[in-house]
Every structure is written in structure tokens, then in C-alpha cells.
């Protein structure tokens, strides 16, 4: 049979302009940065179009806006006469954040979390052991068992006995309760660096990950500035930084209150911040000190870290700053809690949160 090459006429690639789906991805990014301001996001999109000519004569920005309405991504606020996001858009933003930060994830079954204990479960581990009465048939590792049979009996007398069997260990499942704390103090947008948008994206991606892959887990989100308060996942696209100091104590107290109500033994706190604690609330008044490390504020913060350790709530801190004295504080805070700390750039923040969520869900704290 002759082997050769078949040549066809070369067709150059078409210079296609973005259609609805491509423009939607850009729009969802812009509306996240604008904290849910649809008008501002569309103005930015129009500016990008003028500068880079991203649309075509056949499909322009006007067509895209009309499709956003028709497909249920935008609705009109009749009182204000402005466009606003719908629940479909909010979900689209979360999915976009998940894809951007964590990549494409395979759909899993109903979620659960591995403990250090082995037994009859539904997630295979890498460990092997001898067969025991009561082990399920599907746990038997045939490759390892046949290898044992060959070693024990030889090829000439190959037979498989109970003593040759090896089984794959499986892991029990447990649920996990996570509180994600997001710093919204003014420093999160200082020095020309937008730190709040990556933090929002991480929160939305983590929420979507849990919803898709670990639906039995719980994720509560709170923000902290001068005070701390809980927000819903749907509120994240609209989250903005305020003229606040950093009351880490209020955030930790609220996180602990939330986790006390959760029945699962696996509890954890993730804290995304870029600075030191600078504020306490004493009655109706605030004690504030932005200069250096105020021991009154720091000691109260460390006391709560120790309390979390006593009730087995580890705190993982993601510090978006590189100042040596801030790192020294986080090191002390982490040591008191026996938790973990990372000094992350904005680019690597999502990957670190994802990795630690995956790791921590396997622990029985």
C-alpha cells in the first residue's frame, strides 16, 4: 500500500470578530471591576471597541446590549431608568471567575470530604492492603493481586487465592464548613493597585466550586472594615472598598459565631487581607491606630487566634502585601493559631485558595 500525502487547497483563517459569547466574557470581567455598575462596564466596552475595533459592522455594541436583554442578562430598573444585572448575570460572573482562576473542573458527584480514617467509602486512596472479610469486590486491585499470585505460585502454577488479593483503601467522607473573610478597608485600592477585584473573584470562584463539586459543604462570606458583616454570594459583584480601617477582631468574632452554628466537625477560616489590624470597637466608639503595630489591637487579635485554635478552627491567611513588619505580625498570628499563611501576589491568590481548600477538606480538625 502506497504511503503519501494528500494536498488540498489552502484556505486562510478567517479574521472573525467576537460574537455574543466572546463579548459576554469581556463584559462579565468589566462589570466585576465596576462593582456591578452596568452603565460603566458598557462604557468601558465601547471604549475598548473604539480603540481596538473588537466588533464588526454586522454585530456591534448595540446588538450585543440588545442580546443581553433578550437572553436575560440585563433588566431595566424602571425607577432609576438604568440597566441592572439579573440573577443569570450574577451566576455567569461566578462561573467566569471559576473558569478563570481554577480552570475547567470535571463535574463530580454529590460532595464530601476525606478524613484520615480508612474504610468503606467512595473515594479511592493510593494505599493498598491485604484482603479482609467484608471488603467489597470493586475494592480488589486485580493488577496487584495477579502480580502477587505470580510471585507466590509461579507462572507454571498460576492461581489466585485469598492470600494473593490486595484491595485499594477508600476514605470516609465528611462535610466542611468554611468562612471566607474579605478585607474591604481603604488600603485594598491604595497605591493604584486594585486588590478587591481579585478577592471578589476568588470568593465567587470558591462559591461556585463548592456549589458544583461539594454541595454538602457550606461557605459563608463576610467582609470587614471598621465593622464586620455577612454578605450573600449574590452580593459579591457589587462589593466595594470603603473608607474603613481594618477591624480584624470584628471579622474573627463574626466568623466564630457563624461556625459555632455549623454541626460539622471540619471548620476553617480563610482570610484575605493586605494589612495589619488597626481598629477595635469599644462600646459605641472605635479605637483606631494606623501607625505601626498597636499592641492593644494586635493582642486582641492574637487572643482570638488562640481561641480559634482551642476550638479547632484553623485560620489560613492570604496576605497581599510584602512589608517585613506585616509578615512578622502574620507569622505571629499563624503560630498562635497553628494555622497557615501565604504572602501572595494577586496573580497567584486564586490558585493558593483553591489548593488549600482541597487540602484542608481532607483533614478532620
Tell me the pLDDT tens digit for each residue of 311-357.
999 999 988 877 788 888 889 999 999 999 887 777 778 778 877 88
SS (H, E, C) the chain: CCCCCCCCCCCCCCCCCCCHHHHHHHHHHHHHHCCCCHHHHHHHHHHHHHHHCCCCCCCCHHHHHHHHHHCCCEEEECCCCEEEECHHHHHHHHHHHHHHHHCCCCCCCCCCEEEEEEECCCEEEEEEEECCCCCCHHHECHHHHHHHHHHHHCCCCCCCCHHHCEEEEEEEEECEEEEEEEECCHHHHHHHCCCHHHHHHHHHHHHHHHHHHCCCCEEEEEEECCCEEEECHHHHHHCCCCCCCCCHHHHHHHHHHHHHCCCCCEEEEEEEECCCCCEEEECCEEEECCCCCCHHHHHHHHHHHHHHHHCCCCEEEEECCCCHHHHHHHHHHHHHHCCEEEECCCCCHHHHHHHHHHHHCCCCC
pLDDT of residue 144: 84
Which residue reads 460572573 in cell numbers? 93
pLDDT digits (tens, 9 = 90+) for 153-165: 887 777 888 888 8
Per the DSSP assignment, residues forming a β-bridge with 84 are 75
**Cβ neighbours of residue 218 under 8 Å, at least 6 residues apart?**
175, 176, 177, 178, 210, 262, 264
pLDDT beneath 70, residues of the chain? 1-17, 102-127, 169-174, 362-365
Cα Rg, the chain, nearest whole Å = 27
| Torsion sign across C-alpha atoms 57, 62, 66, 71 | positive
pLDDT of residue 5: 57
pLDDT of residue 119: 35
pTM over 0.85: no
| Cell numbers representing residue 169 in the block | 483503601
pLDDT of residue 80: 85
| Cα–Cα distance, 155 to 52 (Å, whole number) | 70
Amino acid at each position: 500500500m502506497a504511503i503519501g500525502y494528500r494536498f488540498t487547497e489552502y484556505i486562510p483563517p478567517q479574521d472573525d470578530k467576537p460574537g455574543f459569547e466572546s463579548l459576554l466574557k469581556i463584559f462579565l470581567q468589566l462589570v466585576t471591576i465596576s462593582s456591578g455598575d452596568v452603565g460603566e462596564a458598557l462604557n468601558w466596552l465601547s471604549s475598548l471597541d473604539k480603540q481596538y475595533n473588537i466588533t464588526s459592522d454586522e454585530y456591534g455594541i448595540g446588538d450585543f446590549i440588545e442580546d443581553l436583554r433578550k437572553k436575560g442578562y440585563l433588566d431595566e430598573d424602571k425607577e432609576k431608568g438604568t440597566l441592572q444585572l439579573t440573577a443569570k448575570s450574577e451566576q455567569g460572573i461566578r462561573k467566569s471567575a471559576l473558569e478563570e482562576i481554577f480552570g475547567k473542573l470535571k463535574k463530580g458527584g454529590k460532595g464530601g470530604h476525606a478524613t484520615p480514617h480508612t474504610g468503606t467509602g467512595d473515594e479511592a486512596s493510593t494505599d493498598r492492603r491485604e484482603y479482609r472479610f467484608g471488603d467489597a469486590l470493586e475494592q480488589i486491585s486485580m493488577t496487584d493481586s495477579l502480580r502477587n499470585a505470580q510471585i507466590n505460585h509461579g507462572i507454571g502454577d498460576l492461581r489466585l487465592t485469598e492470600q494473593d488479593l490486595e484491595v485499594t483503601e477508600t476514605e470516609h467522607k465528611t462535610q466542611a464548613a468554611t468562612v471566607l473573610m474579605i478585607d474591604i478597608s481603604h488600603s485594598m485600592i491604595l497605591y493604584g493597585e486594585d486588590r478587591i477585584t481579585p478577592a471578589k473573584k476568588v470568593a465567587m470562584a470558591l462559591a461556585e466550586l463548592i456549589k458544583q463539586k461539594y454541595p454538602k459543604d457550606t461557605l459563608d462570606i463576610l467582609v470587614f472594615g471598621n465593622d464586620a458583616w455577612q454578605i450573600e454570594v449574590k452580593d459579591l459583584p457589587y462589593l466595594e472598598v470603603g473608607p474603613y480601617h481594618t477591624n480584624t477582631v470584628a471579622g474573627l468574632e463574626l466568623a466564630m459565631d457563624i461556625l459555632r452554628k455549623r454541626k460539622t466537625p471540619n471548620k476553617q477560616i480563610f482570610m484575605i487581607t493586605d494589612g495589619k489590624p488597626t481598629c477595635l470597637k469599644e462600646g459605641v466608639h472605635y479605637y483606631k491606630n494606623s501607625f505601626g503595630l498597636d499592641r492593644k489591637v494586635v493582642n486582641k487579635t492574637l487572643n482570638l487566634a488562640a481561641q480559634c485554635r482551642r476550638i479547632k478552627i484553623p485560620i489560613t491567611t492570604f496576605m497581599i502585601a510584602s512589608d517585613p513588619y506585616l509578615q512578622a505580625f502574620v507569622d505571629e498570628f499563624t503560630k498562635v493559631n497553628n494555622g497557615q499563611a501565604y504572602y501572595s501576589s494577586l496573580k497567584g491568590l486564586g490558585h493558593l485558595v483553591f489548593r488549600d481548600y482541597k487540602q484542608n477538606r481532607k483533614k478532620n480538625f
